[in-house]
């Protein structure tokens, strides 16, 4: 393998937006799965700030607007030019006339006073952004992501046909800084990379220790077109976040299979031999591909932010660890080559 070239400036940098190498995903600030107090939410943002994180990603979907409101409140203590905000469009929040005290069925522990409605129309994009600006209490959004466009089953093409051109006009007018797409579907992301002039994509859970689906065509396409990649879901919802996953561990918002848990525990055995952990190598792996500008992780406590940043700042895992994982068929050589190349930039061969 030849020496890795230094990454060329991506489109976000060309638009004056600096992101990376780590971003805070703010779904947990919307009470993802369990309640969180406003104080804890604020402390998580402050822990990220103290750890040098300056990009914060949110969405109306997260807690029916709660994540945006809490993020805006927490960032109000900082000067606007010092941080980057990304939020998303595609799910409008409407009043719920049938509300009877129940919690949101979308996985967030919040009262269902609002309901989500798919809307990737030009008008919907503008109204969604207006609402986000108010909740975030800012005068501009740096990066706007089309959120899960393929899940708008009634009209899956509306995002590329109507929402993207609307965002392009807003970008040209200087109302927003940049345009992206965020979803777990590599095929959807690839379509936008190939057919539009997006500045960035956020790929969720498709370039991790246990899933390298994005490596086949999506990441090479982004690298070729200088589209910045924000790699989210790097722990695949939890199976890679613990030292040793157990039965019931989460994987891609569902339950991990017994075979996957066994595979990750075999990885943990190898990590023990080399004095490291699965979460640490998961973060190292997720950042190594040359197309990736930042990894995005969430946190449900300030301590979790600190632990993740300590893992990111720790010494890289030995090259022999990655070779061992490949030899034992625990990870694909596709991703291991980039980790090894980054660890030893003068490396000529994997043999």
Q: Is 338 among the residues known to form the active site? A: no
CA distance 182 to 203: 6
Closest by CA to 25, choosing from 48, 50, 56, is: 56
DSSP per-residue codes, 279-312: HHHHHHHHH-STTEEEEEE--SSHHHHHHHHHHH
- Other C-beta atoms within 10 Å of 74: how many? 21
Identify the active-site residue in 62, 164, 207, 338: 62
| Bridging pattern class, strands 22-25 and 91-95 | unpaired
Neighbours of 45 (CB within 10 A): 25
Residue 21: asked if its preceding bond is cis (omega within 30°), the reply is yes
* DSSP structural state of residue 32: B
The 3-state secondary structure of 247-274 reads: CCCEECCEECCHHHHHHHHHHHHHHHHC
In the structure encoding, which two tokens stand for residue 298, read together?
Answer: 């969430």
Is the Cβ–Cβ distance between 24 and 53 less than 8 Å? yes
Catalytic positions are 62
């Amino acid at each position: 393998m030849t020496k890795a070239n230094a990454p060329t400036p991506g489109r976000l940098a060309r638009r004056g937006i600096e992101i990376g190498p780590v971003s805070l995903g703010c779904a947990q600030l919307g009470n993802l799965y369990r309640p969180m107090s406003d104080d804890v939410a604020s402390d998580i943002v402050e822990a990220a700030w103290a750890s040098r994180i300056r990009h914060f990603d949110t969405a109306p979907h997260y807690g029916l607007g709660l994540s945006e409101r809490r993020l805006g409140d927490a960032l109000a203590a900082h000067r606007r030019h010092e941080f980057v905000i990304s939020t998303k469009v595609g799910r409008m929040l409407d009043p719920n006339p049938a509300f009877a005290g129940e919690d949101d069925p979308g996985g967030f522990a919040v009262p269902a006073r609002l309901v989500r409605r798919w809307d990737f129309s030009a008008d919907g994009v503008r109204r969604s952004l207006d609402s986000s600006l108010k909740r975030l209490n800012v005068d501009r959004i740096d990066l706007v992501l089309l959120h899960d466009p393929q899940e708008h089953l009634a009209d899956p093409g509306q995002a590329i046909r109507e929402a993207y051109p609307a965002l392009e006009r807003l970008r040209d007018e200087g109302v927003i800084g940049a345009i992206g797409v965020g979803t777990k579907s590599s095929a959807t992301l690839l379509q936008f990379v190939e057919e539009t002039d997006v500045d960035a994509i956020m790929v969720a859970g498709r370039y991790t220790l246990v899933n390298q689906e994005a490596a086949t065509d999506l990441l090479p396409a982004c690298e070729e077109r200088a589209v910045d990649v924000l790699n989210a879901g790097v722990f695949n919802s939890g199976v890679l976040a613990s030292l040793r996953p157990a039965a019931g561990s989460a994987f891609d918002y569902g339950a991990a299979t017994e075979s996957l848990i066994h595979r990750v525990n075999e990885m943990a055995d190898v990590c023990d031999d080399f004095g490291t952990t699965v979460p640490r190598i998961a973060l190292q792996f997720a950042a190594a591909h040359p197309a990736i500008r930042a990894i995005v992780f969430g946190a449900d406590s300030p301590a979790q932010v600190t632990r993740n940043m300590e893992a990111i700042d720790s010494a890289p895992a030995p090259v022999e660890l990655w070779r061992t994982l490949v030899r034992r068929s625990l990870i694909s050589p596709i991703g291991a080559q980039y980790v090894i190349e980054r660890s030893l930039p003068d490396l000529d061969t994997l043999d």
